Amino acid sequence: MRVVVQEAPFEFGAEAERFASGASGAGAVVTFTGVVREADGGDMAMMEIEHYPGMTQKALEKIASDAMARWDLTDALVIHRYGRLLPGDQIMMVATASRHRVAAFEAAEYLMDYLKSRAPFWKKEILRDGGADWVAAKEADEDALTRW
C-alpha cells in the first residue's frame, strides 16, 4: 500500500504501470484519475487545493488500509495533490489490485467516496475576473458514504 500527498504533478502512466507490474498475485487492477474540470461557463483560471498537512497523510492511510482489509486487496495506491492546479491537470489517482475484478472496482469506488468527504482537502476555484469561490461539499457525496 502506498499513499502520497504532494504538490508536484505525478505521471499517471508510469504510476499505473509500476502498480500493475507489482501486482503479480492479483487478477485485476483498477485505476481512477481525477482531473481538474473547467467550471461551468469556463471562467475558472485555476484551482487551489488547501490541505491539513498533519492530518492528510494519516487520514488517507486510514482510508486505504480500511479498503485493503475490507476487500482483501493485494495492493492499493493513493496519490493526491494540493496547491495550484490548472483545468486539465490531474488532481489525484487511486489504484487497487485484487484477485477479482468486482473487489478491485468496489474498493476503488470506496476510496473515491471517502477521499471526497473524509480527507482534509478543500478546493477553491480562482476565477479569471480575480474572484474566488470555495467549492461547496455536495450532499450527494456525503450520502455516497452510506452505501458502504
Kindly list the residues in this chain that would bind another protein in the complex (CB under 8 A).
Answer: 34, 50, 52, 54-55, 58-59, 80, 91-92, 112, 115-124, 134-137, 142
Our CB check for another protein shows the closer of 75 and 109 to be: 109
Our CB check for another protein shows the closer of 72 and 143 to be: 143
Taking the complex as a whole, the smallest distance from the CB of residue 27 to another protein amounts, in Å, to 27
Residue 34: φ, ψ to 5°: -95, 135
Taking the complex as a whole, the smallest distance from the CB of residue 97 to another protein amounts, in Å, to 20
SS3 assignment, position 111: helix
Taking the complex as a whole, the smallest distance from the CB of residue 122 to another protein amounts, in Å, to 4
Give the torsion sign (CA, 61, 66, 69, 73).
negative
Our CB check for another protein shows the closer of 99 and 141 to be: 141
Our CB check for another protein shows the closer of 58 and 128 to be: 58
Q: Whose CA is closest to 77, among 143, 11, 132, 147?
A: 11
What is the number of alpha carbons within 13 Å of residue 99 lying toward its C-beta?
2
Taking the complex as a whole, the smallest distance from the CB of residue 3 to another protein amounts, in Å, to 13
Question: Residue type at 130?
Answer: G
Residues written for the chain: 148
